[in-house]
Amino acid sequence: MDSPRVPFWMTSDQFAELASMPARTARYALHRAAIGKPVKKWRVIVRKIEGRGGNSGLRYEVLLNSLPEALQRAFKGDLEDEPSTAIVPYDAPALLPIPASNQSAKIAARWRILEPIANTLPNTAERGEAKREACRVHGVPLDTLNKWVRRAELSGWNVNAMAHQRPRHAGKSRKVISREFDKAFLAMGGDVATLEQLGAKVTQLIKAAWATQAQRAGYNTVRKEVITAFQRYCREMDIAIPRKVFISDRTIKEASYFRIVDIQANDRKRFDDMKPRIRRDNSKLMPMAQIVMDVKPLDNIVLRPDGTTTWPKMIAFQDTGTQRLACASPGRKHLGRALRSTCVCRRCHR
């Protein structure tokens, strides 16, 4: 009997070498492919499994048969010395299964159950025995196990098909203005296109209100300004709105960062204080590891022997690690002495 033919999964390093790209670029490409993004216009099949390396012990693997034929032939030529490795032909589907973001643990648990089954041929006694053994060991009903196997086979044993799929509306807001307003507006006979137009206007009014002086009075004042302006707009457009205008508090608060426009225009000091600053910590530097120097004209007037006046300059050296300061008057002979005075080693003080 022929050996069971199972899909061949490549590591990210093998994929990087085969596709002639850096290893880090290949890992990022497989990360995007796991959420349905193409890799160089290829729709590849990617799975995330437990293994050495990667985030939290997880790594990406790509199905060899989902790559272009040229890359498959190039890689299969390297496998001629390994006759035990069999590769089943597979056509990548147009749409890849995309799991929800919290399904990694479930995918890993189900793959541990299905992995012995994947190493057997369909409609064979070995496949049936592997299913019964999985049901006995893991306590999974046979109907449930058969459903997992069918989903896995349809996806080319892509483990992402074994978990709950990401909803189509994932990442998209289900409300336009607010749940109460949307429901009341549609119940009054409004259409979806008009509702979306009102939602865009509300977003514009919220950002504009936060950018005015109303933001200084706080959230309640901004909310009143938005509702009043929204009511005025609806009256001008002859749009029927519910008796009580509902606008999501979360929607208004999320746009509070637009208050920076008013702060920049009317309170420049506060705007400057809000800018991010860079702070350096030199407390762990060794002595003499970093020396800074500055020349400072003094405010003391000195009388020269010929009767003229001058303002002397001070040359200061500071060790940023120990914060020691040494001063010297202009002259090369004082430079080395000033530098040595900031060091605490025996070499400079012997």
Q: List, for residues 288-343, the tens digit of each pLDDT value.
A: 889 999 988 888 888 888 989 888 888 889 998 888 888 876 544 444 454 445 44
Task: Give domain status of residue 154, yes or no.
Answer: yes
Q: Are residues 251 and 305 in the same domain?
A: no
In-domain check, residue 282: no
Q: In sequence order, what are the beta bridge partners of 50?
A: 58
In this structure, the answer to whether residues 66 and 130 fall within a common structural domain is yes
Is pLDDT of 57 > 70?
no
Report how far Cα 207 is from the mean position of its chain's Cα atoms.
Answer: 26
Q: Are 29 and 12 in contact (CB under 8 A)?
A: no
**In the structure, what pLDDT confidence band is assigned to residue 221 with cuts at 50, 70 and 90?**
very high
Position 237 scores a pLDDT of: 83
Averaged over 205-220, what is the pLDDT?
90
Note down the domain range covering 237: 179-273
What sections of the chain are H helices per DSSP?
12-19, 23-33, 69-78, 104-118, 125-138, 142-154, 179-187, 192-210, 219-236, 249-254, 260-266, 268-273, 333-341
Please, are residues 79 and 132 in contact by the beta-carbon 8 Å criterion?
A: no
Q: Single out the residue in 162, 187, 211 at which a domain terminates.
A: 162
pLDDT at 68: 78
Same domain, yes or no: 90 and 201: no
User: Could you give the 3-state DSSP secondary structure of residue 286?
Assistant: coil
Which pLDDT belongs to residue 327? 82
Is residue 253 in a domain? yes
